[in-house]
Amino acid sequence: MISIRKATDEDASGILECLSAAFAEYRDEYTSDAFADTVLTPEAIAKRLGEMAIFVATGESGKVIGTVACAVVSEDEGHIRGMAVVPESQGSGIARRLLMQAESYFRERNCKRISLDTTTPLKRAILLYERFGFSASGRVQDSFGMPLMEYVKTI
């Protein structure tokens, strides 16, 4: 049984393990700084837990197997960061459930738009975002030497 709930400080190490496992296969496609910014440090996850709403998916053992972070960035826009599902649980619908949780969080806060940023190597994630109603905005930034593409969804 998979459950999704708001993360607490006690989930920090599990979130870090989840991010590290989920992005390990992409390490060689990222710059070292971009990879470090993606998988986070204990200090960075502590800061993120204080600044954002983070949700975790946990398995029967209580282990974190998926995560997504949400922040309201303007009066009507929410932003998603740090979404990941451990490799052995990918393809099981957890990512979709995390996106639904994030969208619900933003709807409750009267957001009209959700944005997220992603990189070219994350092809499966991009397909998921598109199936969930996100589309490329055309905005591309440099993130530690990698193109970071913005995707948006109107809710």
Name the packing angle between helices 32-39 and 12-23 (round to 10°). 140
Starting at the edge strand that comes first in sequence, how are the strands of the sheet with 3-6 ordered? Answer: 3-6, 53-58, 64-74, 77-85, 113-118, 146-154, 135-143
The pLDDT score that the predictor gives to residue 38 is 96
Domain count, the chain: 1
Q: What is the CATH number of the domain that holds 9?
A: 3.40.630.30
Residue 33 domain boundaries: 3-154
Confidence of residue 8 (pLDDT cuts 50, 70, 90): very high
- Tell me the mean pLDDT in the region 117-132: 97
The pLDDT score that the predictor gives to residue 131 is 97
Q: Residues 56-88: pLDDT tens digits?
A: 999 999 999 999 999 999 999 999 999 999 999
The pLDDT score that the predictor gives to residue 95 is 97
pTM (2 d.p.): 0.96
Tell me the C-alpha distance between 128 and 131, whole Å: 5
- Tell me the mean pLDDT in the region 26-41: 96
